[in-house]
Structure 1
Amino acid sequence: MRFLKKAVIPGVSAVLLLTAACSGGTGVSKDTAKSDAKPDENKIYNIRSERFSIRPFQPPQDNPLDAMIKKDLNINLKVDVGVGNYENWLKQFNTRVASGDLPDLVMLQRADLVRFAKSGTVIPIDDLLKQVPELKNRMSEANWKFASVDNKIYGVPYLNQTGPFNALVIRKDWLDRLGLKMPTTTDELFEVLKAFTFGDPDGNGKQDTFGLSGEINFVTFSALTNAFGLPQFGGSKEGIPDDWIDAQGKLHFGPISDEYKQYLQYMNKLYAAKVLDPDIANINTSLFQQKMVQGQIGAALMFNPHQNFFAGRPWLDSIKKADPKANWVYVSPVKGPNGLSGNNSASPSSQYSTVVTKAALSEPGKALKVVQLLAYMYREGFNGGKGGQFLDFGAEGTDHKTTNGKITQVLPQLAVDQNNYLTPYTMGGEPNHLDPIQLQATTEEFQWFRKLDEDKSKDNRIVNYYYSSLPFVYDGDTYVKEMSLKFIYGKEDLSKWGEYVQTLNDRYQYKKVQEARTKELQDMGIYKGK
């Protein structure tokens, strides 16, 4: 599962609730126990965790992870998974909260974490973390803030220590066929995209190819926006440029930034030249993959390309089966007019956290047991908790091989097991740690993955992941996305940029949003300016 990106599946309108195991009791006793009570070491605790997933949850009948957790922690763990997107799952969860049906742990986006913290639905765990120092010491204070409200910690964030992975990939075989070099600037990329669109790069005598496409409605375009100084686009909200603090400590609001305007000007240039995939504004992963397999596009902006382009991955295999000569390669970020570039921001990010609810107070010792479970399931590659390592590497013999007690090879079954049932057990940490990626890649593949990571833009801090819900109604995001498309497709001239900014500030109260966000970041100690 992709944790950084917004997990939305078109056409999914309902949430299917699936269950991993059985346990009794969902309500919270009125006589709540003290959160700092010690667990009874002779007792088996029934603990329930809930989250959404874009994939069906299909645990094996004899689940080795459940058995391991019970043996090591005296916990019967029940994992409830709402299959679909986060928004649909949240509607169902809100209903269950209202009826008092709470799990002990739940995965939430930050805005919902803040909302439930204010209502007392989720509880702070600062005192409990003092009793589980191996968990508290895993993260810096800055990273704990992703799961904090009013300087109190409520759970464990899902971290990307160096931000999400976006990158531009290109058909090297098409470049070679047309006698073109690898583009290094936005101007050179423009010329390459024209050649891919009008130069018959596949040699079939037809004008049936396009220069550039992207995965999931502009979400993956940070590898291009960085050329204009916009470090992240669509990372926290689909189609919305993220806010950031630069190296000088200045706070920038993405939707009204000059950097965003420059990016829109370039995209309008590409559209006017007819080098953009006509479906680019409404594309989904399935259609995007289909276009790559069928050889319809020559350059693509992708999310986590290493998940698809390492040898043996189904996506790459499908491309090679359709055209064995197709050679998709990574492109180092192209430089913009001011020499800026980057795949994405290297700023740490976290869109979700697994937090503890007041249901954990229903019996003595249970709250501490829940936090011990969080420590056990923490993901950090070889340095993760025992359960977290199982999520990253699976079972010996089935999912990986060992040599002298050390994991040396990941087997194909691991990806199957992670997709079928392991990923929903994630409760925080670093799901995209380098250790399991290195084991799954050849030396050459891992080198270009590290290059992808090193090419991220530095000296900026994406701040959207710290935001909570606004205390007033703001519906400007739809306007921002609508105007983005109008500017790109030439329906509105960018000479009207000032009018767009004024409308957003006044009619949609974005000026009020900026004031609220500035104060919020100041109160958290993240922004030092005024």
Structure 2
Amino acid sequence: MSNHWRKTTLGAAIALSLVLAGCSSESNTDANADANGNGANKPKEEAASDVSKTGFPIVAQPLVQKMFARIAPVNGPFKDMPVFQDYEKLSNVHAEFTEVPTDGFQEKKNLLFASNELPDVLFRAGLTPLETIRYGTAGQLIPLEKLIDDYAPNFKKLMDQYPEIRSAITTPEGHIYSLPTIVTLGAARTDKKWINQAWLKKLNLKEPVTTEDLYNVLVAFRDGDPNGNGKADEIPMTARASSGPGLGLPVVNMMSGSFGLDNQLGYNINLTDGKVDIWMGSERNKELLQYLNKLYSEKLLDPEVFSHKEADYLAKQGSGNAGFFFDQTNNPFLEIADQYTGIAPLEGPHGDRIQSQGAPVPRDFGSFAITSVNKTPEAALRWVDYFYSDEGSTLLRFGREGEHYELKDGIPYYKEDFLKSGNQAKITPYAGGGAPHLISEKVASFINPPQVQEAQKKLDPYMPKIRYAAPMFDEETARRVDVLRTDIDKYYEEQSTKFIAGAIGFDEWDKFESTLAKLNIDELEQIYQTAYDAMKK
């Protein structure tokens, strides 16, 4: 997602001793009580035999769950967050966090499993499918599918309602080793197509409907001085520079649906009559890149589209000097929000009009997992399951009613004074991304205000009925996919950039196709086909 809670990149290595120190703290009542009996009321760590399947508290006696968790730069300490303080009182479960900064988290996580010094729970863990399969098969993570039936009614209800959740998190052997974030709100899964309606009005232009209309509008933005300063300094169209290795070029992803190119199974894939088609070397993709090359060469597409930083991109939105761009929310341009409106996907030269960009319902894969050392996995699963309800998600995202938020027509909104304080990220772990919980229309007022809702309505008719997430592979296949995609994705993104920027001509397209073939794109396609076939059984 592309709002300002976007996750940052994982960084440098950290020493194993810190991991061990963080995960082996004593929590037993007797060990913590001093000679005067202080600390005798602290929760115990031993197994609880009375984990309730419904209602609160989850356990009759106080229970500790040691949790290894990523903490984002914007966050304050988890122990100071109202969500965990209040939920402990409700559940009788004390979450004892080992907080690991985003920079270095991946290395610490690797060392955690390598040393086999495991916590009870991994929270906001960002486990990849390969890590999940590897550590699950090794017995370090426990399978959850049977426990979900009895101890995770909220999550089970979501899986029944959205079958794509189950297919995204179930291994080929039928196990579920980790839970994702669930996003049922369409507006939280798409980047909207924002156009400068003030400029349209000044230049007496209509909202573009086709890619040809867009071209003509962008030319007018470039030449018509819509900002009225007498300078040719307008940015007709811009986009993010990169989504990260293997995630494609954002400007390609945002425009691909106009050329009939979808994004299924977490990749550049069309699904047609049960057939998987990786479209990177297709004629339609060639037409898409030719269109973007035309925009780039005529200075209609931001010349910094491949190089500017995230902060620069957001600043361009907020400046009001951009004509057309893409973002999930209106947060970056709130002060000039009336200047923009969302538009529908553009109809391409062959009549295609797909909202191809968009995350699946299961997001932030591997957000929560339970390890084999956990003596009360039922309690841990019940603990997290609350956050997959609207009530629990409200607590996690908004804090305390009256203090941090107020309800309007049943929807929580941050209080104005609290919003102005800028302390939202200090009271909730959702800020910074990756927390296991439900994002529904009932808990997303901050990222889904009316303007964003209206923009989403323009996209809804063109969204696929199901957006399939990346499939789970067995470890051997996952390793092979990783090898294939490392080479294919790097080559595709490098060459696409060159085609758009004009560094190479389209007379080299045959060479481009043949190189993709040499990189075994057909083998990769067959792997996805096999996974999709298994998914549909």
1:386-401 pair list within 5 angstroms? 386-401=391-406
In structure 2, runs of 5+ residues without a counterpart are 28-44, 53-58, 243-248
Offset at residue 37 of structure 1 (A): 6.5
Q: Following the alignment from structure 2 to structure 1, what is the Cα–Cα distance between the partners of residues 460 and 25? A: 48
Partner of 1:512: 523
Structure-1-length-normalised TM-score: 0.79
1:217-241 C-alpha deviation (Å, 9 max, x unpaired): 24365442111112239x95xxxx5
User: Cα distance 1:160–1:494, how it changes in 2: closer, same or farther (>3 A)?
Assistant: farther
Return the letter of the residue paired with 1:352.
F
Partner of 2:146: 127
3-state SS of paired residue (2:366): strand
Contact 1:209 1:295 in 2 (8 A): no
User: Cα distance 1:464–1:39, how it changes in 2: closer, same or farther (>3 A)?
Assistant: closer
User: Cα distance 1:139–1:511, how it changes in 2: closer, same or farther (>3 A)?
Assistant: same
In structure 1, runs of 5+ residues without a counterpart are 27-32, 309-313, 321-325
1:423-482 C-alpha deviation (Å, 9 max, x unpaired): 349753432x1113358866x536504414514432564453545723363332211110
User: Which of 153, 157, 172 pairs up with 2:180?
Assistant: 157
Partner of 1:110: 129
Contact 1:245 1:462 in 2 (8 A): no
Q: Following the alignment from structure 2 to structure 1, what is the Cα–Cα distance between the partners of residues 146 and 280? A: 39
1:55 aligns with 2:73: yes
1:480 aligns with 2:492: yes
Return the letter of the residue paired with 2:381.
V
User: Which of 411, 416, 420 pairs up with 2:415?
Assistant: 411
1:376 aligns with 2:410: no
Partner of 1:24: 25
1:95-106 pair list within 5 angstroms? 95-106=111-122
Partner of 1:243: 269
Contact 2:74 2:426 in 1 (8 A): yes
3-state SS of paired residue (1:398): coil
Partner of 1:521: 532
1:191-219 C-alpha deviation (Å, 9 max, x unpaired): 11122223322121222222110124243
Return the letter of the residue paired with 1:330.
G
User: Which of 227, 231, 251 pairs up with 1:206?
Assistant: 231
Partner of 2:289: 264
Q: Following the alignment from structure 2 to structure 1, what is the Cα–Cα distance between the partners of residues 514 and 204? A: 47
1:232 aligns with 2:263: yes
Q: Following the alignment from structure 2 to structure 1, what is the Cα–Cα distance between the partners of residues 46 and 522? A: 44
Partner of 2:39: none
Q: Following the alignment from structure 1 to structure 2, what is the Cα–Cα distance between the partners of residues 471 and 5? A: 32
Q: Following the alignment from structure 1 to structure 2, what is the Cα–Cα distance between the partners of residues 455 and 23? A: 52
Contact 2:258 2:346 in 1 (8 A): yes
Partner of 2:298: 273
1:146-203 C-alpha deviation (Å, 9 max, x unpaired): 2221211123221234482112211112122222221111001011112222332212
User: Cα distance 1:47–1:424, how it changes in 2: closer, same or farther (>3 A)?
Assistant: farther
Q: Following the alignment from structure 1 to structure 2, what is the Cα–Cα distance between the partners of residues 175 and 14? A: 50
Contact 1:158 1:428 in 2 (8 A): yes
Contact 1:231 1:457 in 2 (8 A): no
- In the alignment of these two chains, the number of paired residues is 484
Q: Following the alignment from structure 1 to structure 2, what is the Cα–Cα distance between the partners of residues 495 and 459? A: 37
Contact 1:15 1:84 in 2 (8 A): no
Contact 1:467 1:520 in 2 (8 A): yes
Deviates more, 1:192-201 or 1:46-55: 46-55
Q: Following the alignment from structure 1 to structure 2, what is the Cα–Cα distance between the partners of residues 3 and 202? A: 26
Partner of 1:323: none
Partner of 1:219: 250
Contact 2:169 2:178 in 1 (8 A): yes
Partner of 1:353: 366
Return the letter of the residue paired with 1:127.
K
Structure-2-length-normalised TM-score: 0.78
Between the aligned residues of both structures, percent identity stands at 22
Q: Following the alignment from structure 1 to structure 2, what is the Cα–Cα distance between the partners of residues 49 and 3? A: 27
User: What is the RMSD computed on CA atoms of the aligned residues?
Assistant: 3.7
Q: Following the alignment from structure 2 to structure 1, what is the Cα–Cα distance between the partners of residues 506 and 411? A: 55
Return the letter of the residue paired with 2:143.
P
Contact 1:225 1:263 in 2 (8 A): yes
Partner of 1:311: none
Return the letter of the residue paired with 1:224.
M
3-state SS of paired residue (1:58): coil
Contact 1:110 1:146 in 2 (8 A): no
Q: Following the alignment from structure 1 to structure 2, what is the Cα–Cα distance between the partners of residues 4 and 350? A: 17
3-state SS of paired residue (1:137): helix
Contact 1:122 1:358 in 2 (8 A): yes
Contact 1:223 1:333 in 2 (8 A): no
Offset at residue 119 of structure 1 (A): 2.7
Contact 1:353 1:427 in 2 (8 A): no
User: Cα distance 1:296–1:171, how it changes in 2: closer, same or farther (>3 A)?
Assistant: same
Return the letter of the residue paired with 2:166.
W
Q: Following the alignment from structure 2 to structure 1, what is the Cα–Cα distance between the partners of residues 146 and 322? A: 54
